[in-house]
Structure 1
Amino acid sequence: MTDIDPGRFDMTTVRAVLFDMDGTLVDSDGAVLRSWLSWAAEYGVDGQEAYEMAHGSPSATTVRKLLPHLDEATQVVASARQLELQYDDLSDVSATPGAAELLVRLTRRGIPWAVVTSADTRLAKARLSAAGIVAPVLVTTDDIAAGKPDPEGYLRAAELLGVDPADCLVVEDAEVGLAAGRAAGARTAALRGLDGDLRLETLADLAALLG
């Protein structure tokens, strides 16, 4: 069910939708978990902790937190290794429930949308392609200086779409992403039981609001 307070949210005022990728538009949970477990085994840290810490954040940020004793150059190598483990693991990557329907309805309504992800460009394009999604605007960690929870990515996407951030709806499944959306001045729609201006069970809930 969609948890909506009609008094404080009006879908007709949304001029653009900005999506997170992993866990929001793309179901990549299995691939993400496998990559962090493999990487953690190589670097001698707890794999489950790494996976949970990484949710919604750039890999480099998580690596720095897990390996603070390493110098910057070694952390860069460790971050590159973590991404390398993810690039070709696409066997079970797919669109999340309701994603295809929602994107069709946004297009029919003439509402522009973008993807703002904590992945780099290579990984984002690979996962979106595996899920059958072509993003008209894509903002990755290669395009910004600071990742989520910093609002830079969402501010950049709004700028590229030519829409005021206050008129955008950010759709996220991680608290760091919701924090980034709020900091950008956007309204938020939250998955996985998190709190936003809208609480969604799946993207099909949001598609239903578009009629």
Structure 2
Amino acid sequence: MERNAEASTEPAAGLPAAGLPSVAAVLLDMDGTLVDSDAAVERAWRAWSAEYGLDPDAVVEIAQGVPAISTVRRLWPEWSDERVRAEAARQLDRKCLDLADVVPTPGAHQLVATLERLGLPWAVVTSADTRLATARLGQADISPPLLVTVDDVTVGKPDPQGYLIAARRLGVDPARCLVVEDSDAGVAAGRAAGATVASLKGRPADVVLVDLRQLAGMLSRDRAA
């Protein structure tokens, strides 16, 4: 199980020499960061692309890390708001029914256990709606103390609104938050919020992580120093 895995000892690329001593809260993206739902996300958008004769590879790339409604609106700017909302809702329904291979990412459970042991406030900030986020987090056996979804914002990632809301609800200055993301849109949102940003999948950020085990180890060492 992830809870028993050892933390990676590899240094994080771009990590300041002082580590992360000023982190007062950790704000985590869901899909691709805490929860491995990449295959389910890709299946949903490929199926939708086939319905409209769109290039599935291009659609999957556009959809990374942003709300479904933003993806639909970008691809079909001539559609009415009503149709865009209906198509986005249909995509969310499709995703909620496809949970078979949704699992925690490597180190996710260990990181959650570390945050709780250290008493560090944390939240999940996702471009999914509350229903889909609850379904995927439940499938991965992760229960965040605070969940901010697309239902809580007026503008989704790369806008920082979700991360600013999470920081405010946790009572922490955004500048003392660590945002953890796996998409360019998410990294941009964290940076716009004024937070330090750690990334997975090699995305350019303040800290580039191999996996969440590495972050768990970094936080543990910083608090022990």
State TM-score, norm by structure 2: 0.90
Q: Does 1:121 align with 2:130?
A: yes
Q: Distance in 1 between matches of 2:16 and 2:186?
A: 23
Which residue pairs with 2:97 in the alignment? Answer: 88
Which residue pairs with 1:30 in the alignment? Answer: 39
Which residue pairs with 1:140 in the alignment? Answer: 149
Q: Distance in 2 between matches of 1:191 and 1:112?
A: 21
> Once the 2 structures are TM-superposed, how far is the Cα of residue 10 of structure 1 from its aligned partner?
3.3
Which residue pairs with 2:189 in the alignment? Answer: 180
> Once the 2 structures are TM-superposed, how far is the Cα of residue 43 of structure 1 from its aligned partner?
2.4
SS in 2 for 1:11: coil
Q: Distance in 2 between matches of 1:83 and 1:40?
A: 14
> Once the 2 structures are TM-superposed, how far is the Cα of residue 81 of structure 1 from its aligned partner?
1.4
Q: Distance in 2 between matches of 1:125 and 1:136?
A: 12
Q: Contact between 1:150 and 1:180, CA under 8 Å: does it hold in 2?
A: yes
Which residue pairs with 1:66 in the alignment? Answer: 75
Q: How does 1:94-109 map to 2 (within 5 A)?
A: 94-109=103-118
Which residue pairs with 2:216 in the alignment? Answer: 207
State which of 74, 86, 103 in structure 2 corresponds to 1:77: 86
Which residue pairs with 1:39 in the alignment? Answer: 48
> Once the 2 structures are TM-superposed, how far is the Cα of residue 4 of structure 1 from its aligned partner?
4.0
Which residue pairs with 2:28 in the alignment? Answer: 19
> Once the 2 structures are TM-superposed, how far is the Cα of residue 207 of structure 1 from its aligned partner?
0.8
> Partner amino acid for 1:123?
L
Q: Contact between 1:39 and 1:81, CA under 8 Å: does it hold in 2?
A: no
Counting aligned pairs with the same residue, the percent is 54
Cα deviation digits, residues 63-91 of structure 1 (max 9, x gap): 01111222222212211111111011000
SS in 2 for 1:13: coil
TM-aligned CA distance change 1:5 to 1:76, over 3 Å:
closer
> Once the 2 structures are TM-superposed, how far is the Cα of residue 44 of structure 1 from its aligned partner?
2.5
Moved over 4 A (4+): none
> Partner amino acid for 1:171?
V
Q: Does 1:6 align with 2:9?
A: no
> Partner amino acid for 1:3?
A
> Once the 2 structures are TM-superposed, how far is the Cα of residue 194 of structure 1 from its aligned partner?
1.1
Cα deviation digits, residues 88-123 of structure 1 (max 9, x gap): 100000100011011101111110100000000000
Q: Contact between 2:15 and 2:208, CA under 8 Å: does it hold in 1?
A: no
